[in-house]
Structure 1
Amino acid sequence: MNHETSPYGRLEDDVQGSPKRKKVRAKYAPKACVSCRRSKLKCSGENPCGRCSDNGKRCFYSEDQTAAEALQHLSRPTPVQQPSALNPHANANAHTHTHASSNGNGNGIAIPRRSIIPRHESMGRRTSDASVPGNSLEARMARMEGMMEVLIQERGIGSTPRGSIEREEAFIDGFHGDTALHPPIEAFSANLAAVRQQLGFPPESPELRTRQSISAVSPSSSTESMSNIRVGSRTLSFPNPSDYQKYIDYFFSSVTTFYPCVNEAEFRARGESMLATRVIDASDISFLALNYIVFSCSDILVDTTHLGTISRPPGWQWFQLADQLVGKRKVSGRGDLYLIQFLIWEALYLVCADKPNAAYNVIGIACRLSFQFGLHQQSCWGNCTPLQIHMRQRIFWTIYFADRRISLSCGRPYGIRDLDIDVDQPSWIYDRDIQLDQPLPPRDLIRSANLYLSCMIQWGKLCGDVWDRMFAAAATQGMDGESTAILDAKIKHWTEVCLPAIPLLPKDHTPEIRHQRQHTLVYTRLNHLRLLLRRRTMISLRYDGSTGRLCGDLAISNVQLIKAHSTDAKGPSSFRYHMTASLGGSILILATLLVRDLVSIGLQDQQTAYAESFRDALAILQDLSIYLQAARRVIDDFRDIVNVVTTILNQGVSIGPEGEKTTNTFPANIDDLFPYGALDFAQQASTGQSDTGRGGATGSGNGNAGAQWTSSMESATAASLDSWDFELQPTSVGGYGVPWI
């Protein structure tokens, strides 16, 4: 038996030995707040505790001492006043700052530390992480780690997840992971400039804020509107909740109406689930990449930055993040339907960025994955719900017509053959009427984007017929008159007989801008398909009167359809890219008519109409080229022939009674000045060379336009060949781009 007196026994003896007075020991608090713990003072254990409440401090509790001290440090209110000539207390403030530094409340350079959470009368005290119900340990640790990164960045230097060292200006306001800690942005922005000036950082250049994007501040030039998410050991930039909603709202209201392969309700629900903790699970990688490519497409579609002030396509930062996340999933086939949706939008982004080779390859991967996932055969979808079947139909047919469009524009074989398809077309239901836990809604002929999808499916089938019979390597008939007439009659029949049965423009309701754009897209693409059948004949200038009149009427029709949307040329409109393609094809045909002796083929009565349409198309294309790289490249492709036609129109060339030209003579090599003589752009003049040896030609081509988007690299190295930045390097003079039919 142990006879040693215990501490508790000694305490009882002391109490019994006291005469009359009984000593009552104060009750211990289960835990102390960070402030009391650092001061080694007794804490009441309340939230906030009595001592912090009396001293006007913010009260924090944390089981992690290091993170708790960082939290306490970040909560110290140190408002910074902007220096102003109207402030009589500026010198007094400077003295106060110096005193604060000497007391350990500054950063060693007589300037108080910038508070990430400034005190504000409207902001209540935040409870500790441990007291918030539902917060998992993983979520709390992720947030505390982010706070520690901000604390390190307060010292002026930050360490990135890859181990590189960057200055603080690259990390300003990088921590926005917890929306409850967001300060009012107006108050923070008011102090930001003064703090940067006092810390000695260079002022931000106004040129960095010229780019327009969905978010209030362009993600490519600033991190003020950025938040962070964690993917494994990496910390990635992500729009803050407000900007994220702007991206998603724009995407589903203005973009998916033309490529309806994503369901809004499912996307929003999955997004909320993924971003609940800001720590991304491995199963959400493809969906996260889809989010990033949505940001890219939205930014490039609304961008109105003058081309002379940019070095990369809008949304390029998001595009690179998305492509890095997907990695080898594209070639290994490890993914889900989100991966295929991502590839569709990645290809469309590359189309808008005027990168035809990359777009063709990406949409080709999407086609092969659709076969691997069984999207081409509906009989294999036995375990799918009606909503899953509907979405698979929309995804597959979007791949189908996007593949036909990109492949035919590049002059290359398409990836999905009609004989391999066993999939019904989706019902004409409105996407926003779909509820995830409800049966599919009834058809809505006014608001459904699937009507437009049905038209594009038929257009894609006609594209396949044109390629197989006219341009495929095994096509023996070639561009003879009989094949052209048969295909033209087929396209014309569907345009005049079948298409009117699809109510693209509502009959009983006022058409919205979406209806008008879809109507224009369908008719101009069908007209372009008919013009494509006769392009080589028109460029050779050996066409007859009937061919010339038909092509002239189709070109004028396209210009008039696009002219109705001319106000979109200078604004942030997603319709600008189709306007560029339609105008480019029409200008080519009108130029072939205006340099020809029209009297000899009986078209002299149409010369005025051709000239007016040519001027209208060129004027709209010039407006588009202010902000749109593809439009500038098309203008550069047409520069030589447009100069000739403009000279003819300005000089007022007249045709004599015998067909002679009385005031001007055409260049002897006039037919060599027309671009797009070959369907495959890689077969056009001076193109198709290797990456390391491009150039050497002296033709006009797209040399000036191609140099607009360049990377900082001076030459192509072995390492840069695997980087997307290599695609942004300037190309040598010579060759033409893609007309994007």
Structure 2
Amino acid sequence: MSSQLGFTTDNINNELTSRTKILEQRYEALTKELTEMRNRERERDAPQLLAPALTAEVPGPSVSFSPGSTSNVNHDTTRNSVFERNTQFTGGTSFSAQINLLDRSVARDHGESDELMLMLPDTCQGMDYEHLSASMRGEIDQIVEQTRLDDADKILQALDIYFANFNPHYPCINEAHLRTQFAAFLADDSSCMSKTVTIQFAALLNFIMALKSIIYDNCPQDDYVPGWKEFYRAEKLLSHATWIEKANIMTVQMLVVKTSYYLYISKLNAAYDTMGTAVRLCFQLGLHNESSWGEDCNMYDRTYRQRIFWCIYCLNHNVAQNSGVPDLIRESDFDVDRPKCIDDRMLYPNCRQLPEMHKASPVPYLLEIIKWAKLSSEIWDAMFGARVKKPVSQEFIADTDSKIMALSREIPGFLHWPPASGLQSAAETPAFMIQQSLVLYLRIKALRMLLRREEMVSLRYETRTAQLCIEIATDVINAVELAYCSNRATKRSERYAYALHLTGAMVPMICVIVRRSNGEDMMRPAINIFNRSLKIMEAISYGLSFARRTLHQLRRPIRVAREIIDSNWSQYAFSGLPSPPQTLMSNPTNLAQNQMWNHDMSNFGSGVILGEETERPEDMMIWEDLDLWNNMNNWQS
């Protein structure tokens, strides 16, 4: 493939080196200009920050973005950019569309021109920034300036964490292009960024900083929501942009980040609502129909249009499953090719055709999640739809389980969990790919468990169902323990995944424990998994509000399970976190952290579960400090 396109490894490396030098030189020049600007800025009083208000959530509106398809964000090319083209999609059922069709048919039949129809105002173009009221412009300018005056190192850290931990799962933003825009934004260079672009870039930047805070920062108290200040800024910009009523590709990118923030703070209705806006824009921007993009759609534009659509498709199914509502995109409503597995470092606006490099691209994971999403949709239609007949046939469960197992077997070797090279080897497997393999592994296990959740929770389950759930839950807890104990894979940003999937493993184990008719062959492994899952959940709950809320919601089932264990199965209870696998103990750098798993933590989380006031334990402080130190050393891994 690469030889046919004229590519060699040396050519690719040379091009990467050349582009890196150019970007570094440009960044140094903009940084110098930024320093001079800030020196002048310090002579004036900085505008007062808007106080973040915990008010009702503002719906996500359509907002104008014109980031352009070139590195220097040229204004003229932006207007004609295929990447930003609005195809004004409306389906055949549209009320206004039928009138337009009738008008054109009449005009054609009578030999008249349809010029009047073409001259009708474009409702999606709306007003520009200059036409807003003075008060609106003042508030927008204030928020943009607040963003620009933030600590640049703090923003860069947020970008580092975002592109290392989130973008690989939803690869809808080009890192090199965004960092170039960030440098221009800091320098307030009007020759590189128009006023509208600056405003919208500030909104995207604030959403990214908010997402970084919620997935990475510690949240020891529920009255504090990490990232809310930045989220509030971005929402204010979106709220004002309602008056502009424009939308383009980057609007959808921003809604992906916004939806994810809602998901991580357990605002599932808001996440679903925002996802609905993103799906609507996919249709109105023509992202659902690749043939409408035109032959002049270059590789960069086509690549990110494909990626953005499929990211929306996958995130939509993820949000819908967690929210317990139908997904919003049906197979019959779109026609978009799968994105190619291209190395992101080679992508830039107006780039030439590139070869596929599966082991350096985030896309192979996305392709597997697309398959996962389709199976998730099939399960919803057969098990949770409004017209589904209960009970669901065992044949369907068995057939679907076979499909899930087939998907697991078809996963590329470099996305298998655990990695064949081991978690400590950075030479062969990129760090983001190890994260992807863990999440993909856990999602597949969760889908198998979903098939049996209703039967287990009813407490009228068959013995073979319970035994299979124990096997699946064992795989989940082993994977989470291995990831958390690993120096390389232990990242704050993965705590949400740990809590989500440990809950999925713990719930059926509680179902086994509380049914008193079960024998020792089932009770012993179920208690073991329950204890191991609960210890980790309680440990991370002191820094993650999602884990705390989950434990609080489960407080009665957990209390009953503990009482049964203490009364009848105390010989299988243990007080400390399990020891990590011996393969991890061979690495001296992990010794301090591995010892954390052997502390007596039997009393951890009792206040969280039972709703009592409790102080953060001393051991937990060591745990979190170690976690922070490991992440500081592994951002660039």
Q: Normalising TM by the smaller chain, what interval? A: 0.5 to 0.7
Counterpart of 1:243, as a letter, is K
- Normalised to the residue count of structure 1, the TM-score between the two structures is 0.55
Superposed CA offset, 1:618-666 (max 9, x none): 00000110110110011111111111111222233499xxxxxxxxxxx
Structure 1 equivalent of residue 521 of structure 2 = 605
Q: Once superposed, what is the RMSD of the aligned Cα atoms?
A: 3.7
- Higher normalized helix content (fraction of residues): 2
Is 1:295 aligned to 2:221, yes or no? no
Give the CA deviation at 1:281: 0.7
Is 1:644 aligned to 2:563, yes or no? no
Distance 2:484 2:460 in 1: 33
Are residues 705 and 446 of structure 1, via their aligned partners in 2, closer, same or farther at CA, if it must alter by over 3 Å? farther
Out of 230, 234, 255, which is 1:318 matched to? 230
Structure 1 equivalent of residue 632 of structure 2 = none
Counterpart of 2:363, as a letter, is N
Are residues 651 and 143 of structure 1, via their aligned partners in 2, closer, same or farther at CA, if it must alter by over 3 Å? closer
Distance 2:394 2:48 in 1: 68
Distance 2:554 2:48 in 1: 50
Superposed CA offset, 1:276-315 (max 9, x none): 32777123333221111111111222212422xx633111
Are residues 258 and 513 of structure 1, via their aligned partners in 2, closer, same or farther at CA, if it must alter by over 3 Å? same
Structure 1 equivalent of residue 218 of structure 2 = 304
Structure 2 equivalent of residue 418 of structure 1 = 331
Counterpart of 2:441, as a letter, is Y
Are residues 338 and 243 of structure 1, via their aligned partners in 2, closer, same or farther at CA, if it must alter by over 3 Å? same
Q: Answer whether contact 1:459 1:526 (CA < 8 A) is retained.
A: yes
| Percent of aligned pairs sharing the same letter | 28
Distance 1:272 1:440 in 2: 27
Is 1:449 aligned to 2:362, yes or no? yes
Distance 1:421 1:414 in 2: 14
Say which SS state the counterpart of residue 314 (structure 2) adopts: helix
- Larger RCO of the pair (alpha carbons < 8 Å, separation 6+): 2
Q: Answer whether contact 2:299 2:351 (CA < 8 A) is retained.
A: no
Superposed CA offset, 1:339-387 (max 9, x none): 1111110010111112111111111111111111111111111131111
Distance 1:441 1:630 in 2: 41
Are residues 568 and 621 of structure 1, via their aligned partners in 2, closer, same or farther at CA, if it must alter by over 3 Å? farther
Are residues 463 and 160 of structure 1, via their aligned partners in 2, closer, same or farther at CA, if it must alter by over 3 Å? closer
Are residues 331 and 584 of structure 1, via their aligned partners in 2, closer, same or farther at CA, if it must alter by over 3 Å? farther
Structure 1 equivalent of residue 446 of structure 2 = 528
Say which SS state the counterpart of residue 146 (structure 2) adopts: strand
Out of 527, 532, 541, which is 2:459 matched to? 541
Are residues 630 and 434 of structure 1, via their aligned partners in 2, closer, same or farther at CA, if it must alter by over 3 Å? same
Structure 1 equivalent of residue 300 of structure 2 = 387
Q: Answer whether contact 2:206 2:234 (CA < 8 A) is retained.
A: yes
Counterpart of 2:525, as a letter, is A
Rg larger for: 1
Counterpart of 1:281, as a letter, is K
Say which SS state the counterpart of residue 360 (structure 2) adopts: coil
Q: Answer whether contact 1:370 1:396 (CA < 8 A) is retained.
A: yes
Structure 1 equivalent of residue 505 of structure 2 = 586
Counterpart of 2:146, as a letter, is L
Name which of structure 1's ranges 440-449 and 564-573 shifts more when overlaid on structure 2.
564-573
Structure 1 equivalent of residue 550 of structure 2 = 634
Q: Answer whether contact 1:297 1:349 (CA < 8 A) is retained.
A: yes
Name which of structure 1's ranges 507-516 and 421-430 shifts more when overlaid on structure 2.
507-516
Give the CA deviation at 1:513: 4.2
Give the CA deviation at 1:499: 2.4
Distance 1:582 1:702 in 2: 18
Q: Answer whether contact 2:414 2:429 (CA < 8 A) is retained.
A: no
Distance 1:368 1:568 in 2: 41
Give the CA deviation at 1:479: 2.6
Give the CA deviation at 1:248: 1.8
Give the CA deviation at 1:597: 4.2
Structure 2 equivalent of residue 353 of structure 1 = 265
Q: Answer whether contact 1:428 1:449 (CA < 8 A) is retained.
A: yes
Say which SS state the counterpart of residue 294 (structure 1) adopts: helix
Q: Answer whether contact 2:299 2:350 (CA < 8 A) is retained.
A: no
Counterpart of 2:169, as a letter, is F
Are residues 517 and 350 of structure 1, via their aligned partners in 2, closer, same or farther at CA, if it must alter by over 3 Å? same
Distance 1:318 1:654 in 2: 48
Is 1:400 aligned to 2:318, yes or no? no
Is 1:621 aligned to 2:621, yes or no? no
Are residues 537 and 701 of structure 1, via their aligned partners in 2, closer, same or farther at CA, if it must alter by over 3 Å? farther
Is 1:482 aligned to 2:482, yes or no? no
Name stretches of at least 5 consecutive residues in structure 2 with no aligned partner.
1-31, 52-137, 422-426, 572-606, 616-637
Name stretches of at least 5 consecutive residues in structure 1 with no aligned partner.
1-134, 163-228, 656-699, 709-741
Is 1:252 aligned to 2:166, yes or no? no
Say which SS state the counterpart of residue 380 (structure 2) adopts: helix
- Normalised to the residue count of structure 2, the TM-score between the two structures is 0.64
Q: Answer whether contact 1:626 1:632 (CA < 8 A) is retained.
A: yes
Distance 2:210 2:170 in 1: 15
Give the CA deviation at 1:318: 0.5
Give the CA deviation at 1:412: 0.6
